[in-house]
């Protein structure tokens, strides 16, 4: 799965925020103490109460492992007129210990009949035994009570008939709609099960450890097609014109990867060199936007097969653009579903950043076909094994298949973005306890995705790419069609011997036991696990403090805390118990050689081989830590940047800018020193460093503007326009140049027009007028399209025309640009109209409401409007989105995390407290409160410095 909020974060950088049966050799029998039938009968009061008043025979949130599924035979018939479905299933189970009940997951399903057959019953065609069904909605479980004990080590067949309404939201088996060019509204039915929503579509063992095979049949009307994980075997014609599609049996997989769709979409297809048929599906009017996705999918699938040395195990792969989708995409095995903006590419309206986004999401989901589908985490506490690896593999795969996209540059921001989150005390370990569905949903966040990817990249840099590559191949081959946990990965990376590597004596020499330049200091295999558990089992990010005295470097590690200063009373206790094994890299002014060292203690000392002017730690920002240079360290680096910045690597320059401003937020570096460091940017030619410097200066501008600190706002505006004038004036209003040249153009011109830079406003107004005169048919360069629309939206006529064009546009990329432009109006009644349209869900789809509220909240005229709306319409929002969904978490943070006053903090605190009294609690509440407190502290400490610095510079 990919988080749609990653698109918002990504776009902050460039614009709009945006059937053999294998019993596992893992003991799962002792996970819980299973009550005996005597205990159940004699102590009913010790058990939960089912909906009918009877005692429910199971107390835990996790299912017992005494009965395990082997195969599901599932039949589904959705009715797209009455918006409901009827279904039946037969689950083949293995009873591992005698029991009289079977516990399954089920949510909002009406069970109409449940029967049990033994193998003997089937052999002699005996009627099945009726099962008594008990329901316990608090745990989303049902109990099937058998009339007599089920015998251990035998197989049984559980047949269940059930029905339900197709869901309204974005989870389970739900409806999605789209409008044709002719104005007709059409309905499709689609599934989205990760992490805990398969139980909304069929009763099942809805935990990742319970892998099984699935045989699926879908009944439909002739005007539709049905898609599922596997290819269709046959279609059976039924009475009344109905058709029933039968699909091949799946490989062994977890329930959250099951998928089926009933729709009227069209497709474009191709075949890989290994014979896998790849198809891209979209609604008929958007079929022409599928070509790039097909090209990218074929390239990326072929790359992964070669890179992992494991063929994609299914005969086909479908990628489907869904009109209404809660996340960015979902990796269902063989049937990947996407939000339209994550799969479709329209050359007329999709910008360079749109192309990078689509390519990354396809790469992410295809990586999941191995990391997640082939090898699945044992439990959701290790979801990072899926999401962290898929995020990391975006970089590896896109670099190999589309080097012109220069995705390496983007990866820096993947890590920088999560540092903001991980440096708060409210962060959590990568591998974190998660029990309830809400807690499991909350694990799908920047820590699991971004931090997971960043520590993998750090480990790859430490071990060497070759050894890391061999290790992950070993991991995938060893655990194929099985489940794994943290330590299994570390074991594979320590000892990456494959079955074919064994020597004649039956012993494989692990690389880590042989001499190697990059591993000699690792010692025994346990070292990789020992080092990496310090990154996965404790939260936060380390700060490496460097003090240079001649040729001696004194090193110290601390926990880096954003918004908590060393002089604060709470700083000391928050440091206790934290220690990382940090793989350090550094270079010096005297040499380009990259030195390596593992810092395992709180303090240490390094001796340099020669005298040097400056030392730069964390080469190319491959390490997941912040560096602070005490004494004259920062002054020496700033001097070097001003004298000859090219002596420092491009990514090191970006890293210095990032770390300097992070240290300001932690009270370890004064703001004027960080700002002075950016002065060299007038000579910078590398896009990445320019973008990073601009990002912080623009952040300060918006912070001042939202607080109406007019003198600082005006001076900062003048400074930005004067200081960056040469590079702004050098931009063309075109789509020329490399991907990152184009992203710089979008960022600079967007900022210039926002700051009312006359030449920018004039050009954008001219292009918008031409666009209006052409009735929206003029092709404006895609990289400046959003800028032109935003300037045009400032007049009533322009705003109304854009809203009208939004409704008619078939391009999701263009609709995003228009929606952002509409949200920049200074008229609150227009902003309120947008929110109303988003709540209605017709013109502006409900899936886009979270992004819309976020954008409006960033508008100084809309920040209070958006926040008031969320507070006053909380109950209505919960009818549209699940409490723990991406959307609700993004709505909460998007409308509050920019606040920076004590009154605003108190308002938010009171609102969150009222929600807690109603039983609603999310981790995002504490994250937001810490973020607002950090903003308040930043202003109190740094506003006078910023004001003085600007007076000197302007």
Q: Distance (Å, rounded) from C-alpha 628 to C-alpha 647?
A: 20
* Three-state DSSP class for residue 226: strand
Contact of 510 with 496, CB cutoff 8 Å: yes
What's the residue count for the chain? 954
Looking at 365, 387, 558, 930, which residue is catalytic? 365
Distances (CA, A) of 714 to 636, 691, 710, 719, 724: 32, 21, 6, 9, 15
Q: At what angle do helices 758-773 and 796-808 cross, to 10 degrees?
A: 50
Q: Distance (Å, rounded) from C-alpha 540 to C-alpha 543?
A: 10
Q: Distance (Å, rounded) from C-alpha 88 to C-alpha 551?
A: 75
Q: Distance (Å, rounded) from C-alpha 453 to C-alpha 441?
A: 19
List of residues 6+ apart from 568 with CB closer than 8 A: none
Helix, strand, coil tally for the chain in percent (to 5): 45, 20, 35
What are the tokens at 527? 């070292």
Question: Using CB atoms within 10 A of its CB, is residue 569 exposed (0-12), middle (13-18) or buried (19+)?
Answer: exposed
Q: Distance (Å, rounded) from C-alpha 240 to C-alpha 897?
A: 56
- Residues paired with 2 in a beta bridge: 329
- For the question of residue 698 being annotated catalytic, the response is no
SS (H, E, C) 153-185: CCEEEEEEEEEEECECCCCEEEEEEEECCCCCE
Residue 902 CB neighbour total at 10 angstroms? 12
Q: In what order do the strands lie in the sheet with 277-282?
A: 266-271, 277-282, 316-322, 335-339, 329-330
Q: What phi and psi values does residue 187 have, to the nearest 5 degrees? A: -115, 140
What residue spans of 793-922 are helical by DSSP H? 796-808, 812-822, 828-840, 849-858, 863-872, 874-880, 886-894, 902-917
Contact of 110 with 177, CB cutoff 8 Å: no
Using the 8-state DSSP alphabet, how is residue 202 labeled?
S
Contact of 88 with 160, CB cutoff 8 Å: yes
CA-atom Rg of the chain in angstroms: 29
Contact of 640 with 401, CB cutoff 8 Å: no
Using the 8-state DSSP alphabet, how is residue 900 labeled?
-
Between CA 48 and CA 836, with CA 192 as vertex, the angle to 5 degrees is 100
DSSP notation for 732-759: -SSS-S-HHHHHHHHHHHHHHHHTT-HH
Q: In what order do the strands lie in the sheet with 129-130?
A: 129-130, 110-118, 155-165, 84-95, 67-79, 213-220, 243-247, 232-237
What are the tokens at 284? 């008929």
Q: What phi and psi values does residue 10 have, to the nearest 5 degrees? A: -60, -45
Closest among 115, 127, 68, 65 to 94, alpha carbons compared: 68
Using the 8-state DSSP alphabet, how is residue 948 labeled?
H
Q: Distance (Å, rounded) from C-alpha 106 to C-alpha 216?
A: 18
For residues 574, 579, 583, 586, the Cα torsion angle rounded to the nearest 10 degrees is 60
* Three-state DSSP class for residue 149: strand
Among all residues, which ones are annotated catalytic?
A: 365
């Amino acid at each position: 799965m990919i988080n749609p909020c990653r698109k918002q974060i990504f776009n902050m950088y460039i614009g709009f925020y945006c059937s053999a049966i294998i019993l596992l050799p893992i003991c799962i029998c002792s996970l819980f103490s299973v009550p005996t039938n005597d205990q159940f009968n004699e102590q009913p009061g010790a058990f939960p109460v089912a909906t009918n008043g009877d005692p429910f025979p199971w107390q835990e949130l996790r299912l017992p492992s005494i009965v395990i599924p082997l195969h599901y035979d599932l039949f589904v018939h959705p009715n797209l007129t009455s918006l409901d479905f009827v279904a039946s299933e037969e689950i083949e189970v293995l009873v591992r210990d005698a029991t009289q009940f079977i516990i399954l997951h089920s949510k909002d399903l009406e069970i109409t009949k449940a029967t049990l057959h033994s193998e003997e019953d089937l052999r002699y065609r005996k009627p099945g035994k009726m099962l008594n069904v008990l329901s316990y909605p608090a745990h989303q479980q049902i109990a099937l009570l058998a009339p007599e004990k089920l015998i251990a080590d035998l197989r049984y067949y559980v047949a269940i008939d059930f029905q339900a309404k197709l869901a309204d939201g974005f989870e389970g088996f739900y409806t999605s709609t789209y409008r044709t060019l002719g104005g007709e509204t059409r309905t499709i039915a689609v599934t989205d099960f990760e992490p805990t929503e398969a139980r909304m579509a069929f009763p099942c063992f809805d935990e990742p450890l319970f892998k099984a095979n699935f045989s699926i049949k879908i009944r439909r009307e002739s005007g539709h097609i049905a898609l599922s994980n596997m290819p269709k075997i046959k279609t059976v014609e039924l009475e009344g014109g109905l058709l029933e599609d039968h699909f091949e049996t799946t490989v062994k997989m977890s329930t959250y990867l099951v998928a089926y769709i009933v729709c009227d979409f069209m497709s474009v297809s191709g075949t890989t060199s290994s014979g896998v048929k790849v198809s891209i599906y979209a609604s008929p009017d958007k079929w022409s936007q599928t070509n790039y996705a097909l090209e990218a999918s074929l390239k990326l699938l072929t790359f992964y097969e070669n890179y992992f040395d494991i063929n994609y195990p299914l005969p086909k792969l479908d990628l489907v653009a869904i009109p209404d989708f809660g996340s960015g995409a979902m990796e269902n095995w063989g049937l990947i579903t996407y939000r339209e903006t994550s799969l479709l590419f329209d050359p007329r309206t999709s910008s360079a950043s749109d192309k990078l986004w689509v390519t990354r999401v396809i790469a992410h989901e295809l990586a999941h076909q191995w990391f997640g589908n082939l090898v699945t985490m044992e439990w959701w506490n290790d979801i990072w094994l899926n999401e962290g690896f898929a995020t990391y593999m975006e970089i590896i795969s896109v670099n190999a298949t589309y080097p012109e996209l220069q995705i390496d540059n983007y990866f820096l921001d993947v890590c920088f973005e999560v540092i903001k989150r991980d440096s708060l005390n409210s962060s959590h370990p990568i591998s974190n306890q998660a029990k309830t569905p809400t807690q499991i949903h909350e694990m799908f966040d920047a820590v699991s995705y971004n931090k997971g990817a960043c520590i993998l990249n750090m480990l790859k840099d430490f071990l060497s790419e070759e050894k890391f590559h061999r290790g992950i191949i070993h991991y995938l081959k060893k655990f194929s069609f099985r489940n794994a946990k943290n330590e299994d990965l570390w074991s594979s990376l320590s000892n990456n011997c494959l079955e074919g590597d064994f020597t004649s004596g039956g012993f494989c020499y692990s690389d880590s036991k042989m001499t190697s330049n990059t591993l000699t200091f690792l010692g025994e295999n346990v070292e990789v696990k020992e080092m990496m558990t310090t990154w996965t089992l404790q939260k936060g990010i380390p700060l490496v403090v460097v003090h240079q005295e001649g040729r001696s470097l004194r090193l110290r590690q601390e926990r880096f805390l954003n918004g908590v200063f060393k002089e604060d009373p709470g700083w000391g206790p928050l440091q206790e118990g934290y220690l990382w094994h940090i793989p350090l890299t550094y270079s010096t002014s005297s040499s380009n050689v990259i030195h390596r060292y593992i810092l395992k203690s709180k303090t240490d000392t390094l001796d340099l081989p020669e005298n040097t002017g400056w030392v730069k730690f964390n080469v190319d920002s491959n390490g997941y830590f912040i560096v602070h240079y005490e004494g004259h360290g920062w002054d020496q680096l700033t001097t070097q940047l001003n004298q000859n910045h090219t002596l420092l690597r491009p990514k090191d320059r970006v890293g210095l800018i990032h770390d300097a401003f992070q240290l300001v937020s932690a009270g370890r570096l004064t703001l004027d020193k960080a700002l002075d460091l950016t002065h060299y940017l007038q000579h910078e030619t590398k896009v990445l460093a320019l973008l990073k410097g601009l990002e912080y200066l623009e952040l300060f501008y918006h912070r001042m503007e939202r607080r109406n600190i007019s003198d600082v706002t005006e001076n900062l505006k003048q400074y930005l326009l004067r200081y960056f004038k040469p590079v702004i004036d050098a931009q063309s209003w075109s789509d020329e140049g490399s991907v990152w040249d184009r992203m710089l153009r979008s960022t600079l011109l967007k900022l210039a027009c926002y700051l009312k830079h006359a030449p920018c406003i004039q050009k954008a107004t001219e292009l918008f007028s031409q666009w209006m005169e052409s009735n929206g048919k003029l092709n404006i360069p895609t990289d400046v399209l959003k800028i032109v629309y935003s300037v045009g939206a400032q007049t009533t006529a322009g705003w109304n025309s854009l809203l009208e064009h939004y409704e008619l546009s078939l391009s999701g990329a263009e609709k995003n640009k228009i929606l952002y432009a509409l949200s920049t109006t200074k008229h609150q009644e227009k902003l309120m109209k947008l929110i109303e349209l988003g709540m209605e869900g017709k013109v502006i789809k409900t899936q886009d409401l979270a992004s819309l509220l976020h954008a409006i909240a960033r508008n100084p005229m809309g920040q209070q409007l958006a926040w008031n709306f969320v507070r006053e319409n909380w109950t209505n929002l919960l009818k549209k989105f699940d409490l723990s969904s991406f959307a609700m978490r993004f709505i909460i943070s998007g409308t509050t995390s920019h606040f920076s006053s004590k009154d605003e903090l108190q308002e938010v605190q009171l609102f969150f407290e009222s929600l807690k009294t109603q039983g609603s609690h999310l981790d995002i509440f504490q994250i937001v409160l810490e973020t607002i407190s950090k903003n308040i502290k930043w202003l109190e400490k740094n506003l006078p410095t910023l004001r003085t610095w600007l007076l000197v510079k302007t």
